[in-house]
Amino acid sequence: MCANDKIRMKSKDNTTMKKGFIILLLAFAASTSQAQQLKKTSRFEVEIDPIAYGLQGYSLHGIYVNKRLRTDLGAFGIKQPEGYGGNKGFQVTTHGWGLKLNYLLNEKETWFGGVGTGYAVNSIERKETSETHSQKVVSVGVHIGYRWFAFKSKDSALKNLYLAPWCSVDYNNPLEKVSFNDATYKQQTISFFPTVHIGYTFQ
């Protein structure tokens, strides 16, 4: 192999290395840009329902936001007020989880609406006899709400805190019937659920 051939091969290797280096740089720049864009358009939020805690229960929701689409996965428990749902003489304690998809309807990220589904287990006690049965319920529904950022003008962590009053209309499907010796418990087929959440967005 002559010296000129060696020079040409070395030049070709250098060109290949330069091309590979440029491709790596472009790939890194593209991934960095994509990561920065994702950081701008996506975030996590957390919410609780203080009414649930006031009714001897609990509530915790983890929310992933991508642009205007919010995916909400929550767990909850509540001791229902006697007679809630039209069943007097019963004490009902509910535990369950829910999945909601909603969309931020305006640029200020205040109004939102969407659909949801849930799975709950009711522990139903007939108060006069202490007879207790459990019932599993699957629900689907639609909801609408509003997020109020009371401290948005503040330059502090409080600017990401918000209140979210919302309500849903749900179709409830019990997976088994519940019968007592001296009374009948009937699960509402259509229910209206209003509440207020306290939330925080991590931006």
Q: What is the mean pLDDT of residues 53-71?
A: 95
Cα separations in angstroms, 1 against 6, 7, 34, 48: 7, 10, 47, 76
Mean pLDDT, the chain, whole residue set: 85
Q: CA-to-CA distance for 146 and 162, rounded, in angstroms?
A: 10
Parallel, antiparallel, or unpaired: how do β-strands 58-66 and 161-174 relate?
Answer: unpaired
- Report pLDDT for 15: 59
- Report pLDDT for 79: 94
- Report pLDDT for 115: 98
Pick 114 or 10 by higher pLDDT.
Answer: 114
Q: What is the mean pLDDT of residues 59-83?
A: 94
Pick 152 or 16 by higher pLDDT.
Answer: 152
pLDDT digits (tens, 9 = 90+) for 129-140: 889 999 999 999
Q: CA-to-CA distance for 168 and 33, rounded, in angstroms?
A: 39
Q: CA-to-CA distance for 139 and 123, rounded, in angstroms?
A: 17
Does 101 score more than 70 pLDDT?
yes
Query: Considering only CA atoms, which of 73, 124, 68, 62 is closest in space to residue 98?
Result: 73
DSSP 8-class letter at 44: E
11 φ/ψ angles, rounded to the nearest 5 degrees: -65, -40
Q: How confident is the model at residue 86 (pLDDT cuts 50, 70, 90)?
A: confident
Domains and CATH numbers, the chain: 42-202 (2.40.160.20)
